[in-house]
Structure 1
Amino acid sequence: MTTVITNANVFNGVDNQLQENVSLLIENNVITQIGDVDLSLASEIIDAKGGTVMPGLMDAHVHITMSAPFHELDKMTREEVAIRSAKVAEGMLMRGFTTVRDVAGNTLGLKNCIDNGYATGPRILPSQAAISQTCGHSDYRQNQAQERTGIHEDSPLMKTGAFKVADGRSEVLRAVREQLFMGASQIKMMAGGGASSTFDPLDTIQYTLNEMKAAVEAASDYGTYVAAHIHTADAMRRAAEAGVMSFEHATIMDDDIAKTIKDKGIFVIPSYFTSSLIAERKIPLGNEALYQKTERVGKAMFKSAELIKKYDIQNICFGTDCVGTLDVHKTQSEELQAIETVFDSLTALKMVTSNCGRLFEMSTYKHPYQEGKLGQITEGAYADLLIIEGNPLNGVSCVTNTETQKLIMKDGVVYKNTL
């Protein structure tokens, strides 16, 4: 299959200006030429009508299997979770998200079904189970009557495979290697207290330096990296020393850790829209203690943005952290507008495209999609792209609006076309 897109302007995912009035040649699932293209090569021609071709959107922090509040997920069978997850994934693709990194969820089967054409959704870079210590952010026992003995979890939510508890260097090594065996592209671990978990205060530092180093060593031996759920500066300092390269949230920064993040090239994945939702108590959490923790996180996130700007931290990526009902997942695109408000249009666009692509490349040979580049419109990149009516550099509303989002293509296949 050879497709030519004509009459297009191109935002390549990096530059602050468009490449105007060009054509793109797509052979099967890869962009092979941008510029003047011989139309006789085409088996299909798509007229962009002066619209902007840009990379498909990317989300570095999703939880596809979490389609309901945790107390409801605790009552669901694995089959229910799987069917609901397929619905969540399809919604992401139809919002223009062509690649996501799932950072706590048993998504390998869904990923394989999408890749093989049995389900519709974005490319998925799975982390499989998020790993934490006992009484950490992945220990989702809902009360102190639930017991954990060996590998047998009393919490139905933990039985879904989204969370894993491991203590001590040897258990951590085994847990990391299990996720790698199950197809993890990268490893997710919990390095500090969580806002949505009951028994770990936000200021706790989770995992000793030796345990955390064990996870980093096991991941790097397989060519990949560790992403850490993390909120406080003290927890970030320990994670940075251990070699963690992706900070999820990085909420309560100080100048010292901001400098370290910059110097070490650590990636930061904040969530400004979700932070505003939880600060305003618009996500159901179940009890007052959790609301108090989330309010603190929501307010601190915007202060950390000032440090990101102060120290010119460039390794920042788009991540939504949507958890809950389908209506919550539908707010995914609104994160882009929140980022534009905190930073600017170009920063928001790079965060949702090329920056995520650079982050995902740290998985090296554990990266499941290696035929082309992701997050860019360049020759040799995957044909994962959108055609937008308008210029996204002038404002991202044309990217998030389904009326101006005219075409969605993933892997050379068109899933929406209203041109």
Structure 2
Amino acid sequence: MDDRLVLTGATLIDGTGAPPVSGRAVVVERDRITAVVDAARAPAGAVLRLDGLTLLPGLINCHVHLCLGGEADPVRPLIDDPLPLTALKAAIRARQTVEAGVTTVRDLGGKDYLELSLKRAIAERLIPGPRVVAAGRGICMTGGHGWWFGREADGPDDVRKAVREQLKMGADVIKIFATGGVMTPGVEPGSTQLTDEEIRAAIEEARKAGRRVAAHAQATAGIRSCVDAGISTIEHGVFLDSDLAARMKGGGVFLVPTLCAPRAIADGGEGAGIPAFMVRKARGLLETHGKSFALAARAGVPIAAGTDAGTPLNPHGTMVPELEMMVQHGLTPMDALRAATYRTRFRRGSPRHSRRSARRRRRALAGSARGGERGSGGQSADPGGGARAGDGGACGAGEGEVIMTRRLIWLVAALAALWPSTAAAAPEGRIVVAQGVDPTTLDPHFHEETPAYNVLLNIYDTLLFRDRDEKIIPWLAESWRVVTPTTWEFKLRHGVVFHNGEEFDAEAVKWSLDRLRDPELKNRQAANFRLVTSVDVVDKFTVRIVTGKPFPTLPNQLALRGAILAPRHFKGKDRAFTDRNPVGTGPYRFVRWDRDERLELSANERWWGGAPKVKTLIFRPIPEHAVRVAALQAGEIDLAVNVPPHLLPVIEKHPRLYSARAPSVRTLFIPIYTHQFDAANKPTGPVEGPTADKRVRQAILAAVNPDEIIGTVLESQAIRTATPLTAKHFGFDRALRPVRQDPARAERLLAESGFPTGIDLTLNSPDGRYLKDKEVAEAVAGQLTKAGIRTRVRTWEWTTYLNQLVYVHKAKPMNLIGWGNTTWDADGTLVPLWRSGNPLANYHSPEFDSLVDEAQTSLDAVRRQEIYAKALRLLLDDGALLPLYQQMDLYGVNKRVSFQALSSERIVGAWLGIRPGP
């Protein structure tokens, strides 16, 4: 039948908490699921095989704000944008939401009842989007949390009137602000706001109309007042205690924790443009929030998933971060999925699970005693249908709504990290990645650049690694501990083999790390391990790393550097061999490298972490941005890095492509030579030329306006920085502000240094390595020239730039560089780039060296923060660099590829996937 679609091969999760099952076929006819049957007895129709994937009901996001866009300060556009523009933006977000597999949302506050009109437009199929359960305007006290988009009300009578206003406008649920919160200045999350009488009035009035009430409630007393009054859901519940958890469980009061919302604010920080008051409050409640949720989970409080989408750096669509945080804080993966998919039915304001619905779903998946052909009840797959008031779950969602249409089939592969499929499929298919440049080497110890790292992290494993949230996790080491302040012990995985068949053990770890530190080899990563004095084998699968002084960031280093090589394969071989013949334990094996053309890897089906989904991974260097995008459009590549902002619309409008983005860990800046170093990386004296004078260097800083470059060259796809660190790095100093452009001061400093008519300098830059790097360099040069620092830009091919200029101290007097410090500690930037004795350093200051040496060995985090603040001020005062911006990583991706952009810029083959074709 042309109108019948049969889905087979997937692991099915029904959203009730029942175990996943396989061997079933899902039958879809005219946008309706008509049956779930044994795969061997599936009816005729168009068959779509979903082998290795997981199929589950459409997700429910119980807390969103479609009128907010996830900007760093989303309140400003909400207030400033005209209503038609807000409506258009909300419609786009609704489409993004449903296209991410979220089929029902509960919108808890927007602008001028716009979300109610949006709900209607979706229900009438005028625009695509999820089913919307809308609250209208949330009710708050005058000047209370949410006043800027809520309905201010004071006293029980005024609150009752406010509830009636929302009902008149068509609200499906009533929202009240019982306590303070994060996003409103002048109020604190721990403060109570609405009185007990006001809360009771709101709930009583809502119940008369058959509506439930959701309470923004963070403070303990406010939560208690809401629970006592008969609230339906508690939003956030930050300061929940054990007594309240027990009462919520007993009363069937749902918790919608929104764990990811304050986390996004805290991680983004002021450096991302988030207002300082929001950052302070979010960071202050993170730990308590996590503990309260864990307490609720242990107590058995009913939990519904909601992300608070639209709040700062918290985009619409994805629910994965929230579900991951739920698992981190105590839910099982299945319970987390259940919180995002399972519906409950509310009657007369009292919730109870719909046992009939649960039984029906389980029967459908298990099959009937007569052969497993029981239908699923013809559940509607229409994402735009309306929900009846009083029907549905904590979110107000209708029962049995599963998104499963010919047009939209949601295979939630992103949740594989929470719940893997019951059977791993063999690797298949090919993904071609286009970076701007080729690696300079395939020796994992002899580089410090991301293009090489993105290839080599797929071939080699390290003892530790970072997950998608950039948290350090065990990798080749199953566990580690601190034996003494200078001794670290690592227990290694058993049964791991290198690609050539060698066994991985403690001897391989010792040989690899000793090789990395061998001074004769001059490995470029060695400086990061200068505190290590020995690597000792305890037994076959235990090693101890001994340091001369305490080394608190050793795990940070081992999660990035220190790849483990196959000893027998490499012993006695020279650099020319190690550059071209990589053998590790990673998820991919090296196949071939045609320099400047393509580098091919093949899946390691014996990888200890499980066979990758993609069989072949190819990296191609394409320096020109437009050529990369053209290759993406033509289907020649599947993933393009560093897409220029002006070409993003080309990708986003293409039927086979999508864009991905993330604020990068990378900052772009211009080191300014103060000293000259020899081949042994030892200072030989001040650099020859004008930049030996501190006043000239300070003039360079005063002459440049990075904000103008960000706005024009980068089309605002970057974040201005005051230092070479991002706000996420330990050691970031919020008190440091960017140098203000002052051409007059620049000219005065030049005159004071003996150059009243100006100077001539060269700015060296790569061409194609970073996003619009040549154009940025030219813009900097133009601003410098206007201030009397006549600057010529010289661009270089990447390998030449690194090996013949940067690594050998010949990029003077200035060079553009980007540094992606994924140790997430200031040590990973300040030591390799400015501490004397390192290949990248062209700055010499005994005071600076002393500061970073102390920070590197201190176990006192507060003291380390103070030291790094002082070191950064010293660098800037000396004019050792011109900070520019934090890069926004922009990618173009073929829709057949599943890809998540990471701040670390990593491209991890084991995390890539190929979606089934139409």
- In the superposition, the TM-score normalised over structure 2's length comes to 0.38
Bigger relative contact order (CA 8 A; separation at least 6): 1
The match for 1:23 is 25
1:215 aligns with 2:199: no
- Does residue 392 of structure 2 align to residue 384 of structure 1? no
Is the 8 Å Cα contact of residues 134 and 171 (structure 2) preserved in structure 1? Answer: yes
Closer, same or farther in 2 for the Cα pair 1:203/1:373, shift >3 Å?
Answer: closer
Choose the corresponding residue for 2:387, options 345, 369, 385. Answer: 369
1:322-337 equivalences under 5 Å are: 322-324=309-311, 328-329=315-316, 332-337=319-324
Structure 1's 174 and 368: CA in aligned 2 closer, same or farther, altered over 3 A?
Answer: farther
Residues 2 and 117 (structure 1), Cα distance of their counterparts in 2 relative to 1, 3 Å cut: same
Matched, 1:71 2:76: yes
Query: Could you tell me how far apart the structure 1 residues matched to 2:79 and 2:88 are?
Result: 15
- Give the SS at the match of 2:291: helix
Larger Rg: 2
Asked if the contact 1:21–1:50 (Cα under 8 Å) also holds between the matched residues in 2, the reply is no
1:207-356 equivalence runs, <5 A: 207-282=194-269, 287-313=275-301, 315-324=302-311, 328-329=315-316, 332-342=319-329, 343-354=331-342
Aligned partner of 1:129: which letter? R
Q: For the structure 1 residues 45 and 369, does the alpha-carbon distance in structure 2 shift closer, same or farther, using more than 3 Å as the test?
A: farther
| Amino acid across the alignment from 1:39 | P
Please give the alpha-carbon distance, in whole angstroms, between the structure 1 residues aligned to 2:318 and 2:199: 33
Corresponding position of 1:200: 187
Q: What is the aligned partner in structure 2 of residue 358 from structure 1? A: 344
Deviation at 1:347, TM superposition (A): 1.7
Letter in structure 1 aligned against 2:76: H
Instruction: Report the Cα distance in structure 2 between the residues aligned to 1:373 and 1:48, rounded to whole angstroms.
Output: 30
Q: 1:34 aligns with which of 14, 18, 36?
A: 36
Match of 1:395 in 2: 418
Report how far residue 132 of structure 1 moved: 0.7
Q: What is the alpha-carbon distance in structure 2 between the residues aligned to residue 363 and residue 52 of structure 1?
A: 34
Unaligned runs of 5+ in 1: 141-157, 407-415
Question: Is 1:281–1:295's contact at 8 Å kept on the other side of the alignment?
Answer: no
| Residues 1:21 and 1:360: Cα distance change in structure 2 (over 3 Å) | farther
Percent identical among aligned pairs is 26
CA spacing shift, 1:181–1:25, aligned 2, 3 Å: farther
Alpha-carbon contact 2:17-2:335 (below 8 Å) kept: no
* Aligned-partner Cα distance in 1 for 2:401–2:220: 38
1:3 maps to a residue whose letter is R
Number of residue pairs aligned between Structure 1 and Structure 2 = 377
* Secondary structure at 1:259 match in 2: helix
1:114 to 122, 126, 141: 122
In the alignment, the residues of structure 1 paired with residue 347 and residue 403 of structure 2 have an alpha-carbon distance, to the nearest angstrom, of 16
**1:277 Cα deviation (Å)?**
2.0
2: distance between equivalents of 1:115 and 1:360? 22
How far has the Cα of 1:55 moved from its partner?
0.4
- C-alpha distance in structure 1 between counterparts of 2:325 and 2:275, whole Å: 27
Q: What is the letter of the counterpart of residue 14 of structure 2? A: N
How far apart are the structure 2 equivalents of 1:219 and 1:169? 13
Distance change (3 Å), C-alpha of 1:66 and 1:393: closer
Taking a change above 3 Å as real, the CA distance of residues 28 and 373 of structure 1, as seen in their structure-2 partners, is farther
* Structure 1 Cα separation of the partners of residues 86 and 123 of structure 2: 19
Q: Which residue of 2 aligns with 1:85?
A: 90
1:100-156: CA deviation from partner (whole Å, max 9, x where unpaired): 11111230111111122221211111111111111211222xxxxxxxxxxxxxxxx
Tell me the distance in 1 between the aligned counterparts of 2:309 and 2:897.
24
Question: Residue in 2 aligned with 1:418?
Answer: 917
Provide the C-alpha distance between the structure 1 equivalents of 2:348 and 2:130, rounded to a whole number of angstroms: 19
Residue 173 (1) aligns with residue 153 (2): no
Output the CA distance in 2 between the equivalents of 1:224 and 1:393: 36
Maintained 8 Å contact 1:131/1:188? yes
Per the alignment, in what secondary structure is the counterpart of residue 321 of structure 2? helix
Q: Does residue 164 of structure 1 match 2:151?
A: yes
Q: Deviations over 1:354-405 (max 9, x none)?
A: 0xx22788889xx942599889xxxx8334145537695772588x998687
CA offset digits 1:324-373 (Å, max 9, x no partner): 4787336643222222222331121111110xx22788889xx9425998
**How far, CA to CA, are the matches of 1:405 and 1:288 in structure 2?**
35
Residue 107 of structure 2 corresponds to 102
Secondary structure in 2 matching 1:304: helix
Amino acid of the structure 1 residue aligned with 2:387? Y
| Mapped partners of 1:192, 1:118: distance in 2 | 37
User: Residues 118 and 252 (structure 1 numbering): CA distance in 2 closer, same or farther, change over 3 Å?
Assistant: same
Say which SS state the counterpart of residue 226 (structure 1) adopts: strand
User: For the Cα contact (< 8 Å) 2:100–2:318, is it kept in 1?
Assistant: no
> In 2, distance between residues paired with 1:76 and 1:390?
36
Distance 1:338 1:311 in 2: 18
The 2-side partners of 1:35 and 1:363 are apart by: 36
Q: Which has the higher helix share?
A: 1
Partner deviation per Cα, 1:287-321 (whole Å, 9 max, x = no partner)? 433332222222221110221133122x1111111
- 1:281 Cα deviation from its structure 2 partner: 4.6
For 2:15, the equivalent position in structure 1 comes to 13
Specify the SS of the correspondent of 1:39: coil
Shift of 1:181: 1.9
Unaligned runs of 5+ in 2: 351-384, 422-467, 469-659, 661-894, 900-914
Which sits farther off after the overlay, 298-307 or 241-250?
298-307
Q: Describe the shift of the 1:47–1:290 C-alpha distance in structure 2 as closer, same or farther (beyond 3 A).
A: closer
Contact 1:111 1:124 survives alignment (8 Å): yes
Pick closer, same or farther for the CA change 1:390–1:279 going to 2, 3 Å.
closer
Measured at CA, do residues 310 and 52 of structure 1 come closer, stay the same or move farther in structure 2, by a change above 3 Å?
A: closer
Separation in structure 1 between the aligned mates of residue 245 and residue 64 of structure 2, nearest angstrom? 24
| Alpha-carbon distance change, 113 to 417 in structure 1, aligned in 2, over 3 angstroms | farther
Contact (CA 8 Å) 1:250, 1:268: kept in 2 or not? yes
Deviations 1:9-68 (A, max 9, x none): 32101234223222223344443322146625x5x5544446432101110000000124
Structure 1 residue identity aligned to 2:177: M
RMSD: 3.4
Q: Deviations over 1:146-173 (max 9, x none)?
A: xxxxxxxxxxxx4xxxx21111222111
TM-score (norm 1): 0.79
Counterpart in 1 of 2:4?
3
Change (3 A) 1:231 1:308: same
